[in-house]
């Protein structure tokens, strides 16, 4: 489960980066919001939600959750454990919430520029949250 979560994360990052760059380009160049742009945003939404489900499954099977429920003071005192047991899950959930809000809000926008801007802001903030709390040491080991 941990390996699936780790490998799927690469896909999520690539698609989310692509969606954010696409939205920024569309916004700055005032392009028409096409079905391709809609599908890019939707695909980013879908893969991130799948990652959330995989991550939650892994989290509740992980030693971090067990340690959190048995010895929370150790978790809070140790930076590396706190990242994996608390900070990473909370920030990833917040990032998925931002992506979901961005998807919902873009549907209510009537202009192409506003749709791109909504994706750029919400998906971009989600990307920043994700990048800030990825356990990079675990990824490269």
**What does the domain layout of the chain look like in residue ranges?**
2-139
pLDDT at 65: 87
Distance CA 40, CA 44 (A): 6
Is 71 in a helix, a strand, or coil? coil
The predicted structure's pLDDT at residue 44:
97
Segments in the chain below pLDDT 70: 139-141
pLDDT at residue 136, rounded to an integer: 76
Q: Are 75 and 82 in contact (CB under 8 A)?
A: yes
Are 70 and 40 contacting, i.e. CB atoms less than 8 angstroms apart? no
Residue by residue, DSSP assigns 28-82 as: HTT----HHHHHHHHHHHHHHHHHHHHHHHHHHHSHHHHHHHH-HHHHHH-HHHH
Q: So what's the pLDDT on residue 1? A: 80
pLDDT at 141 (0 to 100): 63
């Amino acid at each position: 489960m941990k390996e699936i979560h780790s490998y799927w994360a690469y896909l999520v990052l690539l698609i989310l980066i692509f969606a954010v760059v696409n939205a920024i380009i569309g916004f700055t160049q005032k392009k028409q919001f096409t079905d391709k742009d809609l599908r890019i945003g939707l695909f980013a939404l879908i893969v991130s939600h799948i990652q959330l489900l995989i991550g939650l499954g892994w989290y509740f099977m992980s030693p971090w959750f067990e340690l959190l429920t048995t010895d929370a003071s150790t978790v809070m005192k140790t930076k590396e454990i706190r990242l994996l047991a608390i900070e990473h899950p909370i920030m990833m959930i917040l990032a998925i919430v931002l992506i979901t809000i961005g998807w919902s809000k873009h549907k209510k926008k009537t202009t192409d520029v506003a749709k791109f801007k909504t994706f750029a802001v919400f998906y971009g903030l989600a990307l920043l949250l994700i990048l800030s709390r990825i356990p990079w040491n675990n990824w490269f080991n």
